[in-house]
Amino acid sequence: MLDNLSDIVFRLTNVSVNYGFSKAIDSISLDLNRGKILGLIGANGAGKTTTIKALLGMLKIYKGEVLILGEKKCSSRVCRKLGFAPEDASPPEYLTAKEYLGFLSKYKKSNAIDSEQQIGEFLDWFELDPNKSVSKYSKGMKRRLILAQAFLGSPELIILDEPLNGLDPIMIKKLRQKLKEYQSQGTSILYSSHILSEVESTCSDVAMMHRGALLAKESVETLIQNFGGVEKAFASRVGGK
């Protein structure tokens, strides 16, 4: 609690979420500072997505507190400064990519001319056909559109849940560059993935989860120095569990 609160983009304090009678996440305490990329790693079922949903107020929290962009819940004010790409979501199928991004940009904080320009750039950058209906998009294209909307409107916090699913290697490389670019502009990013090599090359810090508990949160540099890499660090932490 000694950190400067204005520097903290989100903070989870002893957050627990139950699915029925079983605990999905148990007393998670996690925070993210401005301008950092935090990798959230763990095996399938470790509680990464649940942690993100708890942070965004999508689930009822059994106990604990959430602070996100200065507020205790993910209100519409917070959402205006937030970009989120869920793992499996599909955009509305009756829209084209351009219409979808246009609709979202009306709610984000950028002005109309800026957003028009940004939409054009994003469509080019993510290699999306602007006038094709989303229903005719392939899975990979839908994934790219979901990622594009998360970056729209210069958000202060971007949350990406398994962003690499369905992406080709060229787009993965481009996405890594994009994340670094946003980080250099002061955007904070929460990056949930189980592809540890990608987390190592993209993130500044890593939080490791296992069976609903947070095992550790360290900087990538520390993990490389102490364990020789994120993958080895994760194996040594989880291996004995």
Partner 1 sequence: MWPLFIENCRYILRSRMILLVLLFSTLVHYSGLKLVSHLTLYIQNSVTVLGPAEMLTVSLYLQLFTALSIAAVYGIWMAPYAHKGERSLLTHVLPVEKIKFPICYSFCCGLILMINELVLLAVFWSIKGAQTFSFSELPWNNLINAFAFQTLCLEVLMLFLALGSLVLGHVATVFLGASSLFIMQILGAMSSLVKNSPETPFFSLKGLFVFLFEKLPPVGNFLFDFHRVVKGENILGSHLILWCSWLVVAHLLFWVKIRYPSKNRSTEA
**46 lies in the site for partner 1, by CB under 8 A:** yes
CA 116 to chain centre: 24
**Is residue 107 classed as helix, strand or coil in its secondary structure?**
coil
Between 51 and 220, CB nearer to partner 1: 51
List the interface residues with partner 1, window 59-118 (CB under 8 A): 59-60, 74, 76-77, 79-80, 82, 84, 86-92, 94-95, 99, 103-104, 106-108
Query: Distance between terminal CA atoms of the chain?
Result: 29
Residue of 30, 50, 179, 206 interacting with partner 1 (CB under 8 A):
50
| C-alpha span between 104 and 188 (Å, rounded) | 20
Between 104 and 175, CB nearer to partner 1: 104
CB of 236 to partner 1, least distance (A): 23
| C-alpha span between 22 and 18 (Å, rounded) | 6
Asked if 182 contacts 83 with a C-beta cutoff of 8 angstroms, the reply is: no
Non-local (6+) Cβ contacts of 56 within 8 A are: 68, 74, 82, 84, 159
Which residue(s) pair with 84 in the sheet? 159
List the interface residues with partner 1, window 142-171 (CB under 8 A): 146, 149
Sheet of strand 213-219: strand arrangement? 82-85, 157-161, 188-192, 37-41, 205-210, 213-219
From residue 185, give the alpha-carbon distance in Å to each of 84, 92, 123, 188, 190: 18, 30, 21, 9, 15
Count of residues that interact with partner 1, criterion CB under 8 A: 42
CB of 71 to partner 1, least distance (A): 13
Between 77 and 132, CB nearer to partner 1: 77
Between 118 and 200, CB nearer to partner 1: 118
CB of 142 to partner 1, least distance (A): 11
Between 46 and 203, CB nearer to partner 1: 46
Between 54 and 199, CB nearer to partner 1: 54
Residue of 32, 179, 205, 212 interacting with partner 1 (CB under 8 A):
212
Of 8, 2, 49, nearest to 25 by C-alpha is: 49
Binding-site ranges for partner 1 (CB under 8 A):
17-20, 24-25, 45-47, 49-50, 53, 56-60, 74, 76-77, 79-80, 82, 84, 86-92, 94-95, 99, 103-104, 106-108, 146, 149, 212
